[in-house]
A and B are shown apart, each in its own frame.
Chain A
């Protein structure tokens, strides 16, 4: 149905031209038919002229033969051959005249029979009547000479007489007949010329019309094609997707969008085999199915919309080469749509889309979902854990993770150091895992277990290089993040604990701090004595309390790690071998809180901080020359700052101070530091609630 209507419209489109060509052919045919007809008539006329001329000649020959016979007769000679000639001439003349009158077959100029049409014109017939009247007496007179074997001289005399009388008239009549026939033939020739001229003129006009129409249509079509091509080119130049046509032999079409090369990271060659590209894009196991899928679309059995979901080229991961020679990981989708021509699937339109952002977003979303699920699991676990134990676990875990981080940053580049580091980190993570398991904190336990597995693989390897350690920060970050999540959740849960359970006293916090201080001091071969006055902590709202505790933990850890000297050094400085740390929270008359943390260690020494800053490459001496001591001391809060004592692999210096800075910012607190070399350092944090 569709095909027929297309043909109809095709005919409709070219109807004018079809009619013009038909007319042209009709004119040509008409001219040809007329030409044939008139030519045939002219040929017939030429015969008639020829025969009329022969009649003229025969009339004279007959007279001559009669006169010759008469002369012979007078001399007493009878020539039968002459009489025979006369007979033939007379018969030929009579037969021809009869043929002119009624039409008939007569001997032609060469003796062969020819058909002569009877004359139909009035003037011609009048001439023939006159000729018949003149000829009949002569014919009758000659008749006795033509029949019988006896020659009658009297009959010859009569014939000669009549011939003499009618000879000239007959000649004139035959002459006129010839002239008239020539006139008729001339008229017909003129008519033929006119017909030919008119016919050819009409045909030429028609041809000109066709030419004009055809050129006009061609130009219009050309304009449309050019416009369409221009539009196509513009679309292909601007469309963001990679577009190209694929034929059933898997060859690229000649046109494709400008974005295609950018998306694929390579130029494609029209006519080249798409399967070459396909082999690079899909896994070898999936390649045959992918080719099958495309082949199915070239067939008309499967429904295009019902197989879209099966497209194997959906969000496929590819390494796309970049201009600088490197390659980038991208996710591409190649969508195939049938492009039909006259009901036949000739090509597939392939749309190549870079879906990297969507894929990454989806993965992020999935990760978020997983995280939410983890949070929920953690939340449920947290409900079962005693708050003080949880706080203790989180503080210890965070501290351990900070330590590991510092170890990673400060490790030296020898295999022995790497092995030592891996062993040390392994033990610490294993401890976290054990603690988490004891408390029933499954997400922590799982993460620690994964980390432990990674470390075990490294530990069991034949040789360890710095490259192996590249994998360590990732699980470390995950654990850090998990600690942050749990801390946040525990703060949120604190409200529930406040509502449903007895409020945890500051005693619990103090106990945790004492445990922590003892653990850190023991690990570093130091001794500390912690004295606290933290009852005010109980007054603080939970979120503030958590931040303050976090600040205390970090400052306490720094005080032990960096401030408090080893027992031997303290003795040399004439100090007590046991370092003293005092932590107190007070409230002034204005209602503001002041957190004090004071240690009697070596103090913050601007000179040494300066040296560390220069050694770290962050600053040069000239830059630091512009800072005063106070400003230099504040540099310890820069993220990643570490002092010269970093060489000690078990102690990360400066660690956590950026955390303190963040917490102070959260509290909206002001910080004051008072310090004296080899005597003390005191942090005073002032904040309002």
Chain B
């Protein structure tokens, strides 16, 4: 299982990566750390992740636009929104667009690991389908 982390904050990207490694999740490998939406789409096409953690407030392409872009190239991608946004309406909109779950910042390592495990549930039985752009 391959994970892509999308967040404009270096601290959060490192935090998620570290927490994921420390949680020792079987079959979960981090295949990319993206700083913005464009990088995320690029890594997604090259490394073909199964899971994505997605920040909502990013410069340039925002999280919701990024979700749209990623799902266009990988319709079966599972996306976990990780945001500190107090505006629930935006987060709900992200779910409507195709995200699968939401994790509020700040989070504990255990909570992140739980969320990733929950997100991976049932994913082993299939491969994420990628469409050519």
Contacts and interface: CB of A to CB of B under 8 A. Distances in A.
B102 A296 contact: no
A302 B101 contact: yes
Interface stretch (A286-294, A394-402, A407-415, A453-461): A286-294
Contact of B104 (A285, A288, A293, A309): A309
A302 to B, nearest CB: 5
Interface in B48-90: 80, 88-89
B101 A296 contact: no
Interface in A255-308: 285-286, 288-289, 292-293, 296, 301-303, 305-307
Interface residues of B, number: 19
B119 interface: yes
A303 B100 contact: yes
A104 interface: no
A303 B95 contact: no
B39 interface: no
B103 interface: yes
B100 A292 contact: no
A312 B90 CA distance: 12
B118 A302 contact: no
Nearest to A307: B102
A285 B89 CA distance: 9
Contacts of A312: 88-89, 92
A303 B102 CA distance: 9
B88 A306 contact: no
Contacts of A286: 88-89
B118 A306 contact: yes
Interface in A302-324: 302-303, 305-307, 309-310, 312
A412 B68 CA distance: 67
Nearest to A290: B92
B53 to A, nearest CB: 12
A309 B89 CA distance: 12
A289 B93 CA distance: 8
Interface in A19-56: none
Query: On chain A, which size bracket covers the interface?
Result: 10 to 19
A305 B118 contact: yes
Contact of B100 (A293, A306, A310): A306
A114 B45 CA distance: 87
Given A292-B96, A296-B95, A306 B119 contact: yes
A306 B96 contact: no
A565 B12 CA distance: 74
B95 A302 contact: yes
B43 interface: no
Contacts of B104: 309
Contacts, number: 53
B92 A296 contact: yes
Nearest to B118: A303
Interface centre among B80, B98, B102 (most CB of A within 10 A): B102
Contacts of A306: 80, 100-103, 115, 118-119
Contact of A302 (B93, B99, B103, B115): B99
A392 B25 CA distance: 66
Nearest to B99: A302
B34 interface: no
A288 B100 CA distance: 19
Contact of B102 (A288, A301, A309): A309
A289 B102 CA distance: 15
A302 B100 contact: yes
Interface string B100-124: 1111100000000001001101000
A282 to B, nearest CB: 11
B16 interface: no
Contacts of A288: 89
B93 A307 contact: no
Interface of B: 80, 88-89, 91-93, 95-96, 98-104, 115, 118-119, 121
Given A286-B89, A303-B101, A312-B92, 18 more contacts: A285-B89, A289-B92, A292-B96, A293-B92, A293-B95, A301-B100, A302-B95, A302-B100, A305-B118, A306-B103, A306-B115, A306-B119, A307-B95, A307-B101, A307-B102, A309-B102, A310-B92, A312-B89
29 contacts: A286-B89, A289-B88, A289-B89, A289-B92, A289-B93, A292-B92, A292-B96, A293-B88, A293-B92, A293-B95, A296-B92, A296-B95, A296-B96, A301-B98, A302-B95, A302-B100, A302-B101, A303-B121, A306-B101, A306-B102, A306-B103, A306-B118, A309-B102, A309-B104, A310-B88, A310-B92, A310-B95, A310-B102, A312-B88
A-B pairs, 5 with minimum CB distance: A306-B101, A289-B89, A303-B101, A289-B92, A309-B104
